[in-house]
Amino acid sequence: MPADPRAPRLTGALPLVDLVLRGGRITTFADPDQAPAEVESIAVAAGRVVAVGTDQQLAPYADLAAEVIDLDGRRVIPGLNDSHIHAVRGANSWSRSLHWESVRSVEGALASIAEAAEALPPGAWISVVGGWHRSQFAEGRAPDRAELDAVAPDHPVYLQELYDLGILNAAGLRATGFADAVADPPRGVLERDEDGALTGRIRGVGAFAVPIGLSLGAEAAQAQEGVRAMAAEFARHGLTGVVDGGGLLMTPRDYDPISAVWRTGDLGIRARLFVSAWTRGGEVADIDALTTLVQPDSGDGMLRIVGVGEIPHLGCHDMEGLDPFAMPDDAAEELVDIVRLCARRGWRMSVHAVLDATLGRILDAWERVEAETGLVAGRGWSIVHADEASRGNLERLARLGAGVLVQNRLILKGSDYADAWGETPTAQAPPIGTMRELGIVIGAGTDATRANWFSPWASIWWLVTGDTLDGRGRRDPAHRMDRWAAIAAYTRDAAWFTGEQGHRGRLVPGYDADLCVPTRDPLTCADEELRDIRSDLTVLGGRITHRSTTSVR
DSSP secondary structure string for all residues of 259-289: HHHHHTT---SEEEEEE---STT-HHHHHHH
* Residue 310, in any domain of the structure: yes
pLDDT at position 540 over 80:
yes
Nearest 10 degrees: Cα torsion 486, 131, 360, 425: 70
Q: Which helix (H) or strand (E) holds 416?
A: helix 410-421
Residues 18/542, Cβ–Cβ less than 8 Å: yes
**Could you give the strand order of the β-sheet that contains 198-203, starting from the edge strand earlier in sequence?**
126-129, 157-161, 165-168, 198-203, 189-192
Q: Would you call 409 helix, strand, or coil by DSSP?
A: coil
Residues 457/416, Cβ–Cβ less than 8 Å: no
Residue 186, preceding peptide bond in cis (omega within 30° of 0): no
* Residue 88, in any domain of the structure: no
Q: Please report, for the domain that includes residue 113, its CATH number.
A: 3.10.310.70
Judge if 314 and 426 occupy the same domain. Answer: yes
Judge if 276 and 410 occupy the same domain. Answer: yes
When computed from its CA atoms, the radius of gyration of the chain, rounded to whole angstroms, is 24
Q: Please report, for the domain that includes residue 230, its CATH number.
A: 3.20.20.140
Q: Which domain-ending residue is among 216, 236, 259? A: 216
Mean pLDDT of 454-465: 98
Residues 37/523, Cβ–Cβ less than 8 Å: no
In the chain, what is the greatest distance between 2 CA atoms, to the nearest angstrom? 89
Judge if 171 and 317 occupy the same domain. Answer: no
Residue 263 neighbours by CB under 8 Å, 6+ apart? none
Judge if 203 and 257 occupy the same domain. Answer: no
Mean pLDDT of 523-540: 97
Q: Which domain-ending residue is among 216, 243, 269? A: 216
Residues 490/438, Cβ–Cβ less than 8 Å: no
Measuring CA to CA, which residue among 299, 303, 261, 236 is closest to residue 79?
236
The pLDDT of residue 16:
86
What is the percent of the chain where pLDDT is above 90? 95
The rounded distance, in Å, linking the Cα atoms of 356 and 363 is 10
Helices in 18-143 by DSSP H: which ranges?
A: 59-64, 87-92, 106-119
Judge if 381 and 451 occupy the same domain. Answer: yes
Mean pLDDT of 280-289: 97
* Residue 241, in any domain of the structure: yes
Mean pLDDT of 308-327: 96
Residues 388/321, Cβ–Cβ less than 8 Å: yes
Query: 403-407 and 48-53: which strand pairing?
Result: unpaired
Mean pLDDT of 321-342: 97
Judge if 189 and 250 occupy the same domain. Answer: no
The pLDDT of residue 12:
55
> Which of 9-23, 237-251, 309-323, 373-387 comes out lowest in average pLDDT?
9-23
Categorize the per-residue pLDDT at 552 as very low, low, confident or very high, splitting at 50, 70 and 90. Answer: low
Burial class (CB in 10 A: 0-12, 13-18, 19+), 360: middle
The rounded distance, in Å, linking the Cα atoms of 211 and 338 is 32
Judge if 227 and 177 occupy the same domain. Answer: no
Helices 329-344/356-373 angle, 10° precision: 40
Nearest 10 degrees: Cα torsion 246, 251, 254, 260: 100
- AA identity, residue 392: G
Categorize the per-residue pLDDT at 249 as very low, low, confident or very high, splitting at 50, 70 and 90. Answer: confident
* Residue 64, in any domain of the structure: no
Categorize the per-residue pLDDT at 106 as very low, low, confident or very high, splitting at 50, 70 and 90. Answer: very high
The rounded distance, in Å, linking the Cα atoms of 226 and 90 is 8
* Residue 89, in any domain of the structure: no
Residue 512 DSSP code: B
The rounded distance, in Å, linking the Cα atoms of 481 and 415 is 22
Judge if 295 and 356 occupy the same domain. Answer: yes
Judge if 281 and 413 occupy the same domain. Answer: yes
* Residue 544, in any domain of the structure: no
Give the chain's domain count.
2
Residues 339/433, Cβ–Cβ less than 8 Å: no
How many C-beta atoms surround the C-beta of residue 240 within 10 A?
29
Domain with 431 in it? 220-539
pLDDT at position 67 over 50:
yes
Measure CA 13 to chain center: 41
Residue 410 neighbours by CB under 8 Å, 6+ apart? 387, 417, 426, 429, 462, 468, 473, 475
* Residue 180, in any domain of the structure: yes
Judge if 377 and 444 occupy the same domain. Answer: yes
Measure CA 480 to chain center: 19
The pLDDT of residue 11:
45
* Residue 72, in any domain of the structure: no
The rounded distance, in Å, linking the Cα atoms of 42 and 39 is 8
Whole-prediction pTM: 0.94
Judge if 202 and 256 occupy the same domain. Answer: no
Query: 303-310 and 270-275: which strand pairing?
Result: parallel
Per the DSSP assignment, residues forming a β-bridge with 157 are 126
Mean pLDDT of 34-45: 97
pLDDT at position 457 over 50:
yes
Judge if 235 and 161 occupy the same domain. Answer: no
Q: Would you call 8 helix, strand, or coil by DSSP?
A: coil
How many C-beta atoms surround the C-beta of residue 259 within 10 A?
16
Measuring CA to CA, which residue among 331, 328, 316, 92 is closest to residue 223?
92
pLDDT at position 1 over 90:
no
Q: Which domain-ending residue is among 216, 240, 269? A: 216
